Amino acid sequence: MTFIHTAFIRFCTSLALAAALGALGCGGSGAQQSPTSSRVRGAIQSVNGDVLVVKSRDGTNVMMKMTSDVRLTGVTKITMVDIKPGSYIGVTSIPGSDGTQKATEVHVFPESMRGAGEGSRPWDTRPNSSMTNGGLEKTVDGNDGHTLTVKYKDGEKQVVVTPDTELVTFVPAERTEIKPGAQIVAFTAKSDDGSLQASRISVGLNGLTPPM
């Protein structure tokens, strides 16, 4: 009975993580988000029940309320060893002065999320940045770093991973991780009264700031 119970818990945890990542901005297309949805990135200043105050990147405090079915995803560090050909990945990149795409971050999706948000689209972490989700076709080591070929249904993109590129993956997160000081990306929408409702939150674990 203990084995069956443990397996059931793991199965449910896997489903919850898949649901959270399926709705995640870096894993979904813009068509999956409502026109009023937005991302809030920053550090949690306070938690009062379901109400969070987050200091956003521009220094302003943003108040939001977690929905009753809020979906939580943890973000944790990995290394290049964990990014293998065949992995399904997301890459945020910006054009370099030499015309190559420099990866600011790479995140590896769990296998259950293969195909999520496949393609390349503009992103909002930095000016001129883009997000590309696809299968890692190959990795080539060079003097400037590792060149990744990311293949998706409409084409492919080559990006260079440098020593400054942040490498992460997604794991399940507990409600206890939503605490003052934690860095998050909250996916919010305005309710009828104008207040922000957070239905999905990606939280950096062990002091990490989610880079995507």
Q: Give the residue carrying structure tokens 């080559």.
A: 158
| 2-75+172-204 CATH | 2.40.50.320
Report the share of the chain in percent with pLDDT over 90.
71
Domain boundaries, the chain: 2-75+172-204, 88-170
Distance CA 196, CA 212 (A): 21
Nearest to 19 by CA among 156, 113, 92: 113
Q: Is the pLDDT of residue 65 over 80?
A: yes
Would you place residue 30 in the very low, low, confident or very high pLDDT band (cuts 50, 70, 90)? very low
Exposure of 149 by Cβ count < 10 A (0-12 exposed, 13-18 middle, 19+ buried)?
A: middle
Examine the pLDDT at 55 and tell me if it is beyond 90.
yes
Question: Does the pLDDT value for residue 35 go beyond 50?
Answer: no
Report how far apart, in Å, the C-alpha atoms of 54 and of each of 41, 49, 185, 201 are: 8, 14, 10, 12
Distance of CA 49 to the CA centre of its chain: 25
Q: To the nearest whole number, what is the mean pLDDT of the chain? A: 86
pLDDT grade for 116, boundaries at 50, 70 and 90: confident
- Retrieve residue 167's tokens: 């490498």
Q: What's the whole-number mean pLDDT along residues 26-38?
A: 49
What pLDDT sits at residue 145? Answer: 85
pLDDT tens for each residue of 89-99: 999 999 988 88
| pLDDT tens per residue, range 154-185 | 899 999 999 999 999 999 999 999 999 999 99
For residue 7, what pLDDT band results from cuts at 50, 70 and 90? very low
pLDDT recorded at residue 206: 94
The angle formed by the CA atoms of residues 103, 39 and 22, to the nearest 5 degrees, is: 75
pLDDT tier, 72 (very low <50, low <70, confident <90, very high otherwise): very high
pLDDT classification of 21: cutoffs 50, 70, 90: low
In the 3-class helix/strand/coil scheme, how is 6-73 assigned residue by residue? HHHHHHHHHHHHHHHHHHCHHHCCHHHCCCCCEEEEEEEEEEECCEEEEEECCCCEEEEEEEEEEEEE
Model confidence, pTM: 0.80
